[in-house]
Structure 1
Amino acid sequence: MLRHFKPSFFSQYLINSYRQFIHRHFSADQLRTFIEENTEVVRGQSLTPQIKLRLMTPSCRFWTEKPELWPFQDPYWAIYWPGGQALSRYLLDNTSVCQGKTVLDLGSGCGASAIAAGLSGASRVVANDIDPVAAVATTMNCELNGLKSVVCVTDNLIGSELEGFDLMLLGDMFYDESLATSLHCWLSRCIKLHRTKVLIGDPGRAQFESHTIRTLLRLEATFDLPKSVREENYGLTGSSVWSFHPELSG
């Protein structure tokens, strides 16, 4: 039986406390300045050279700085992960997937897949990440690519009664078994109730390959990762895009 996934009281408390910390100590302008000073605009060296992103590179201070000096949560938004790269490449190569559709990029990180959806003609794009710093970074990345219409949301949407989206994108979200199980249940419900199409980008991580959801996916595309991306991701050579079909369980 499908069940709603809702974050535990303690995990939600930590999320809310972190948001309060951000709002109390950093204005939007201060966050933008911090991101500008500690990232580099990168174009190329990925599967989507036409998309510009502010990322952390070896020339940035915190690449080698002591981790405890970083004032925020881990900067997952400062890395262009291989699952997101494959997903973004697929959308740019197949614009009909997004054209005229309402799209949700869940766990959006740097916002690359949301940007790819916007560039591919989506009528409405929402980038969702529970890290408020990621939301600011995504807004900045959208501006770099000439997009002003992407909406950034920091609420935890997993488990919610989500309506109004034709397409849901998940890049590199299956890195943890318990999260993968929660997503499996919730995504199945979204498809059953609202006929939402779900696309997943993943480079073949063990937690993804071994999970039950893997048997309910259809391969849409596979991409060879550029040399620099392979080196940054422990030798992963490719990344794939899958569509989710829970009806295959029957």
Structure 2
Amino acid sequence: MKTDPERFILDNTSVLSPPHVPEIRLRLASEAHDLWLKTEEELEEIGLPPPFWAFAWAGGQGLARYVLDHPATVRGCSVLDFASGSGLVAIAAKLAGAAEVVAADIDPLSQTAIRLNAALNGVRIDHRGDDLIGQDLGWDVVLAGDVFYDRTFALALIPWFSRLAGRGATVLVGDPGRSYCPREQMHSLVTYEVPVTRALEDSEIKRTTVWRFLPDPAS
């Protein structure tokens, strides 16, 4: 990778607090379109995805808020934050008392962003950059913010989350009404009104629900 990940992130983000989770500080894009275009121009040749790590998405903000307000959900537990992006939810879990937290994201820039953001908040977060879908490493809690935006991705996640829930893991999903969210397979825990950037969403407030995944009755 020719571009230095840490330098790229430091040069193109500011330290901000997500509006729904003001306790946490992250390196985020202040100008969404500018960073998106810059990422495409500078990093497209090496095949990196769009900079999802540079934004506090509604599902992640809602899930992080829930974890901070209900620390017993993760306290003393081993936690996986799947598709972690900026590491927002992983950081919330660690601040809430999780024993160990793994932030998983296949974007190499996300790994650097998570490390920088964890340091900003004085916590230690482990990272996995491989594809964990279908794996079960014994996590007590699995957290996933805003992951049901793509049909193919959703079809891979749903049976995996069902199996994890079936063997006793707590699987929590933060979702702001994405098209492929399997609401019939989950139990609603709480709903928030989450402020977001209009540059990325269709409104300035996204109604975001935290769901608990239910085991598949057939499993």
Please indicate, yes or no, whether the TM-score normalized by the shorter chain is above 0.5: yes
- What code does the residue aligned with 1:52 have? R
List per-residue Cα deviations over 1:193-233 (Å, max 9, x = no partner).
x311100001011222xxxx32111111111123x546742
DSSP-derived class of the 1:104 partner: strand
Which residue in the other structure is 2:187 paired with? 218
Paired letter, 2:133: I
Aligned equivalents of 1:118, 1:159: Cα separation in 2: 24
Report the RMSD for the aligned CA atoms in angstroms: 2.2
1:33 aligned residue: 7
| Secondary structure class of the residue paired with 1:37 | helix
**CA distance in 1: counterparts of 2:187 and 2:17, whole angstroms:** 30
1:43 and 1:52 in contact (8 A); partners too: yes
Structure 2 residue 179 is matched with structure 1 residue 206: yes
Output the CA distance in 1 between the equivalents of 2:199 and 2:107. Answer: 27
Q: Name which of 117, 126, 132 aligns with 2:93.
A: 117
Establish whether residue 140 from structure 1 lines up as the match of residue 116 from structure 2. Answer: yes
Residue 85 of structure 1 and its aligned partner are, at CA, apart by: 0.3
Q: What letter corresponds to residue 155 of structure 1 in structure 2?
A: D
Match of 1:14 in 2: none
Q: Is the contact between residue 193 and residue 207 of structure 2 (CA under 8 Å) also seen in structure 1?
A: yes
Given that residues 77 and 99 in structure 2 are in contact (C-alpha distance below 8 angstroms), is that contact kept between their aligned partners in structure 1? yes
DSSP 3-state at the match of 2:180: helix
CA distance in 2, matches of 1:122, 1:136: 21
Extract unaligned runs of 5+ from structure 1. Answer: 1-21
- Inter-partner Cα distance in structure 2 for 1:112 and 1:217: 23
Cα contact 2:36–2:50 (8 A) shared by 1:
no
* Residue number in structure 2 paired with 1:6: none
TM-score, length-scaled by structure 2: 0.90
Question: What is the rounded CA distance, in whole Å, between the counterparts of 1:249 and 1:205 in structure 2?
Answer: 25
Name the CA distance, whole Å, in 2 between partners of 1:65 and 1:120. 35
1:48 aligns with 2:21: yes
Is 2:86 the counterpart of 1:83?
no
- Structure 2: which amino acid aligns with 1:179? F
TM-score normalised by length of structure 1: 0.79
Of 71, 76, 86 in structure 2, the residue corresponding to residue 100 of structure 1 is 76
Are 2:128 and 1:153 equivalent residues in the alignment? yes
When residues 176 and 59 of structure 1 are mapped into structure 2, their CA distance, relative to the original with a 3 A threshold, is closer
- Counterpart for residue 19 of structure 1: none
Structure 2 stretches of 5 or more lacking a match?
none
Alignment of 1:8-23 (within 5 A): 22=1
- 1:178 maps to 152
AA in 2 matched with 1:180:
A
Partner of 1:234: 202
Kindly state the Cα deviation for residue 39 of structure 1 after the two structures are TM-superposed: 0.8
The answer to whether the 8 Å contact 1:216/1:248 transfers is: no
Residue 238 of structure 1: how far off its partner (Å): 1.3
The alpha carbon displacement at 1:244 in A equals 0.5
Task: State the identity %.
Answer: 38
How many Å separate the matches in 1 of 2:66 and 2:122? 20
1:178 positional shift:
1.6
Amino acid in the other structure paired with 2:170: K
